[in-house]
Structure 1
């Protein structure tokens, strides 16, 4: 079926739900470590507490991709039912997680939150490939990245914003500050509203051959065997992209899990207070705890705000690419390689910056890599796989995102960064080196249609 080219606003509408998804991910990525530390987690234990995120992605995304490929409703479409289910569950989890009374509850709700976000997210990647002709896919994924950048920047700044409006950053030992609770509540509302906007403004193409589609649905093959078969027969280009993704996502998982403890210590010199060091029954010690804890919470707001800069720079990067790719072809391979190199330099620079005001420049470079990670690999992949299996393929491709995060969570970050020394900031050096390795891995991509869309191949 020849798909018509969509205008900017049609692509914007179909991608707008990603604003809410990114609100969820940015609040999770920017502030879950802070919540864990507030509830008493040791720095060394934080990556393992984060293992919920990649594990749920590993299990859920291929399943949701497989199911959405085999779903069709004349009223609701193929991907939209999953957007909506995930949005409702994610909004509920966002409302509850900052109210966790103890560490194990927060870790448990991270499982629920990440699983729910994944239910919404995976079909959005497939929707771009479903709706757009090959000639517009780079453009479509870049517009999606533009919206993700907006969501990352705003959500990462939410605790700081509500704090500036007078909401307190202070809280008793083991209690998450009200500024964080309000920010997560706002995120819950934005998540649901933005998904509803896409659901009600975007239509989907029905299966090209409805009879063949129904016969495929009626087959008794288990989804496990189908997914396993697709894994065993994945295209060579997908495997090469998987290697790039491995090092890219190892780097970003390192940032999400350890940037807050690393930067509050190394840049702001306000580490999280250790509960065992204070006897709160003694007024002087209770007062000292409040001073140290409030300083940590405020510097955590500033770290979150600085991290939001990577969303802003990814948005600007995506905007430039959107204007360019709407008219001309790009070399996806070299754009991605250069972007990853810049992101790697951004992480490495965090070790050397002399004052907090320079941190935003490091995150500007990180944001260029982030903007490319969210668009170029998917554009390259979508030009190298069977469009009838786009949902399950995008879900399987997620394995190359979550496996490095699982390895990082179960000790990979702690082991590699310990080779450089005991300081938590060494984790940012590991992230930088990992992105640079990912950049060099782009040299393995040789498929011309993946590197730069070839018009003569569109109807082959």
Structure 2
């Protein structure tokens, strides 16, 4: 078939959809091991409850930096491996190495510092692989398959998270020791990270080997995608802007920095101020380059695309902000909440604490398993009946109810019911926004827009990591249960904000 004859992307069958997203199964194993076990690792290595948000800040910060850059680069990449696949492979190699080294943290002179450094490497590497996978679905599928494509991807995300989350619990039931000396990681955790690293690499390799990306010429030949985007227009628009907005960002950053001492806030809030000021300086530099007519540099391109986001993306950004605030609260605080309030222990060397920590793995397994099923069964049915936007609002509301149950329930078994609502919300968060975006954004810039969209996932996580600790220490010291009420409220606001998206489509 010649390039000129192509008028629409071929429709993908079952195995095509399977191969395109199977690598995300492995990536999510890595994320699940990270999300369910890093608070446990940090506490075991001597971190206090108040230290956790600062240690966790690595995850959102690396995503904030990595994803827009990888999105911009992958849009412009074409080599022997293709457009997105070189980034799949690079990220998978480094993520697998980080999972291999993480359990060895107690052997190093500064184990907590080493574990934090490995979390940075792990999260950065997972983001290098993950961001192109989001754009990959849009690259490979025709518009009328975007919803099913992202639903299949979400199903693999849920399945991978089930495998990653259940590893420690399963290994314990196979006779592997779940208790270790103070300062040491149990064998269940160590083996889980090692098995997970191997599974991650092999799953990503499967997608690389079994898929063939469309060349830039083929993409340009598809109906509705022929040179429709002026890639330098956002940079030209940036050249017309003043430096006022940049100055405002810098000023906000300085105000936050000064407020740390004035209001006795936690030191990690300094990071938030530094990031605000850094964005102001970078945006000023991007504007200066644009004014000089330098339209092809990466900085001006990223800042210009961010400033010129389509309206539908702006409205979804607010939804993402509150949705991911709730999720990050859950990932940081579920282990302390369950071990303290349900299993009655804060001693990381006790059997009760480790039983509670393993139960968190079970809870996370349930919500991810529910997400995998909901992605293929519930979401398509709701979308056909109510549309994508209303479906997303319904699912987020169910998730808010699930978080509220954590605030009031003290029975480990009943918390499984709460995870059903959270799992449905998680499925929708992973599928609906991306299906909406892929169908309403230019394919030639899908990578950068997906990378920029990640900012609205990362920023709320940074706020939770920097501000939540100070807020909880001020209002509810030693009482992490209140974080779940904040999570329920955030997801409720996200559900309401979703209804505004219809006006932009």
**TM-score calculated relative to the size of structure 1:** 0.88
- Equivalent of residue 322 in structure 2, options 247, 255, 258: 247
How far, CA to CA, are the matches of 2:192 and 2:400 in structure 1? 30
Q: CA RMSD in A?
A: 2.2
Query: Quick one: distance in 1 between partners of 2:345 and 2:161?
Result: 24
Matching residue of 1:306:
363
Q: In the TM superposition, what is the alpha-carbon distance from 1:100 to its structure 2 partner? A: 0.8
SS in 2 for 1:350: helix
The correspondence for 2:436, drawn from 357, 380, 400, is 380
User: Using the alignment, how far apart are the partners of 1:386 and 1:94 within structure 2?
Assistant: 36
Return the offset for 1:349.
0.3
Residue 32 of structure 1: which of 35, 38, 60 is its match?
38
Cα 1:329/1:142, change in 2 over 3 Å = farther
What count of residue pairs does the alignment treat as equivalent?
A: 427
Tell me by how many angstroms 1:270 deviates: 2.0
Equivalent residue number for residue 342 of structure 2: 267
Report the Cα offset of residue 293 of structure 1.
2.4
Task: Answer yes or no: is 1:124 the counterpart of 2:143.
Answer: no
Aligned to 2:72: 66
Partner deviation per Cα, 1:269-320 (whole Å, 9 max, x = no partner): 12234xxxxxxxxxxxxxxxxxx52331222111111111110110110120
CA distance in 1, matches of 2:85, 2:164: 24
User: SS where residue 375 of structure 1 aligns?
Assistant: helix
1:341 has 2:397 as partner: yes
Query: Matches of residues 38-437 of structure 1 in structure 2 within 5 Å?
Result: 38-73=44-79, 75-101=80-106, 102-208=111-217, 209=220, 221-273=296-348, 292-321=349-378, 324=381, 331-412=387-468, 414-415=470-471, 419=475, 422-437=478-493
Judge conservation of contact 2:379–2:428 (CA < 8 Å) in 1. Answer: no
In 2, the alpha carbon distance for the partners of 1:415 and 1:354 equals 24
- Secondary structure at 1:150's aligned position in 2? helix
Distance 1:325 1:125, change over 3 A: farther
How far does residue 104 in structure 1 lie from its aligned partner after superposition?
A: 1.1
Say if 2:10 is the partner of 1:10: no
Misfit runs of 4+, over 4 Å: 209-213, 321-326, 416-422
CA contact (8 A) 1:314 1:367 kept: yes
Pick closer, same or farther for the CA change 1:225–1:442 going to 2, 3 Å: same
d(CA) in 1 for partners of 2:468 and 2:380? 39
Q: Note closer, same or farther for the CA distance 1:422–1:20 as it changes in structure 2 (3 Å cut).
A: same
Distance change (3 Å), C-alpha of 1:54 and 1:137: same
CA deviation after TM superposition for structure 1 residue 69, in Å:
0.4
Instruction: Please report the TM-score for the alignment, with normalisation by the length of structure 2.
Output: 0.81
Counterparts in 2 of 1:442 and 1:297: CA distance versus 1, 3 Å: same
Give 3-state SS (helix, strand or coil) of 2:408's partner.
coil
Contact kept, 8 Å, 1:47 with 1:258, in 2: the verdict is no
Deviation for aligned residue 1:216: 7.8
Alpha-carbon contact 2:342-2:356 (below 8 Å) kept: no
Looking at structure 2, the residues matched to 380 and 371 of structure 1 have their Cα atoms a distance apart, in angstroms, of 14
Question: 1:312–1:377: structure 2 CA closer, same or farther, 3 Å change rule?
Answer: same
Counterpart-to-counterpart distance in 2, 1:321 and 1:129: 22
Alignment partners' CA distance in 2, 1:4 and 1:429 = 47
